[in-house]
A and B are shown apart, each in its own frame.
Chain A
Amino acid sequence: MSLPTSLRKSVTPPELEFIASQQLVEIVPLISMERTAFISGAYGPLRPPQKTKIPLWMAVNLKLKKKCHIVAPPWLNVDYLQERLAKETAEKEFSELPFRFAEISKVLLDVASDDLENPDKLRSLLKDLREARQAKSREGLNHLDASELSLPNLCQMEINEIRPFFIQSMAILGQFVRQADNQMQDE
């Protein structure tokens, strides 16, 4: 294979961020633009101050040129995340969050923190959430067996982080299972 070893095991976080950038976000444009066709579809027209939905990558691009304000997605606010965090710490299961919340929240906090309310609080909440969830996926290692593992509501970034060694561990555990037809290779 021509891929370097580090890329064969799983997707890298920047690649996930790229994928997440295809998702639509709402913006308030500050410039007007006709409806424009891109490979992924046609977006626009932009008519300030009317809200429109465009892909995240385009929103980030416009935002960095100060040509729009990004409207925070409904889950990216202090109240909602606080409620999730409370749930996360109280319950054994992973709480429900958007599948790509880690990527999207990072990008938004990075480039559009002035459009969000209380970005510092958001950051610390997201960090707490991440840590609480990490503790749970660590707990999941306890229940690892050779055949299956179910961790519902795990989000993309977390899956990606644990994928390489979870898979490897499961493969190893699979080797220890004795099967009737698994006697000697020569037989």
Chain B
Amino acid sequence: MNSDYFSIEAILAENQKVQCAFKQDLPNLGHLGGGSERHIKASNKLQIPIWLAYTIIFSDWADFMIPAAFNPRVKNALRAEAKSVRLSNLVGSGGSWYGFGKLIMDSLDGEQAEELSQMLESTFRHRLIETIDQAQHFGVIGTSGVGGSAGDTSQIFREGLDTTERELFALAQESARKVKKWYETSDKSRR
């Protein structure tokens, strides 16, 4: 989630692609888009990974579009019920929706960035309690009880967690497990 140089999560988040609309011809740079074209022409639209998009946007070669994961449809769905949106589906497997959102937010300014910042924050807040509740539940019952039918809403929610939330889930689960274990061990046998 952070932008630390060595953070694997940050690298993965930067690997997400954004759609860029080029404003000028770029000879011999067709490989950037991964296509077979030799040149990039003005008005071409290509999916560029965000680490590369920075340079392109700053050089004013292209404009980028807000990715589908943050479009108004997703926004409305999140506003209606943040817990029923499957964030992991929006960014592909192993993706970090929040990390991606943060990067997009940083490259926008003004109202758009403000809006995105609020969307990220409120989504995170609304999903946090459910995440922690479930993590503690699983921390206490241990791994044996995991299962339940696939149609189970809580399971659907778990599958929809993005990597950032998964990390939190693991943290909460681990600490609930540790505390429970401590409460259950008896000192008498140890001494």
Binding site for B on A (CB under 8 A): 6, 9-10, 12-14, 17, 60-61, 64, 106-107, 110-111, 138, 141-142, 144, 157, 160-165, 168-169, 171-173, 175-178, 182-186
Contacts and interface: CB of A to CB of B under 8 A. Distances in A.
B171 A165 contact: yes
A171 B105 CA distance: 17
Interface string B156-172: 00000000100110011
B188 A111 contact: yes
A172 B188 contact: no
A138 B178 contact: no
B188 A110 contact: yes
Report, nearest first, the 6 A-B pairs whose CB atoms are least far apart: A13-B182, A164-B171, A165-B172, A165-B171, A176-B121, A176-B120
Interface in B104-122: 105-107, 109, 113-114, 117, 120-121
A182 B108 CA distance: 11
A13 B187 contact: no
Interface in B48-102: 54, 58, 98, 102
Given A168-B171, A176-B117, A111 B187 contact: yes
B179 A175 contact: no
Contact of B114 (A12, A142, A164, A178): A178
Contacts of B31: none
Interface of B: 1-3, 54, 58, 98, 102, 105-107, 109, 113-114, 117, 120-121, 124-125, 128-129, 132-133, 135, 164, 167-168, 171-172, 174-176, 178-179, 181-183, 186-188, 191
28 contacts: A9-B175, A10-B175, A13-B179, A13-B181, A60-B187, A64-B191, A106-B183, A111-B187, A111-B188, A138-B132, A138-B133, A157-B179, A160-B179, A162-B175, A164-B172, A164-B175, A165-B168, A165-B172, A165-B175, A169-B128, A173-B124, A173-B125, A176-B98, A178-B113, A184-B54, A184-B58, A184-B106, A185-B106
Contacts of A142: 125, 129
Contact of B1 (A9, A160, A171, A183): A171
A172 B132 contact: no
B128 A177 contact: no
Main secondary structure of the interface of A (DSSP, over half): helix
Nearest to B99: A175
Contacts of A141: 128-129, 132
Given A141-B132, A178-B105, A178-B113, A12 B54 contact: no
B117 A185 contact: no
B188 A182 contact: no
A173 to B, nearest CB: 6
Contacts of A171: 1-2
A182 B3 CA distance: 12
Nearest to A158: B179
A138 B117 CA distance: 24
A144 B63 CA distance: 36
A61 B188 CA distance: 10
Contacts of B102: 175-176
A58 to B, nearest CB: 13
A138 B128 CA distance: 10
B58 A186 contact: yes
B187 A172 contact: no
A12 B3 contact: no
B128 A144 contact: yes
Contacts of B167: 168
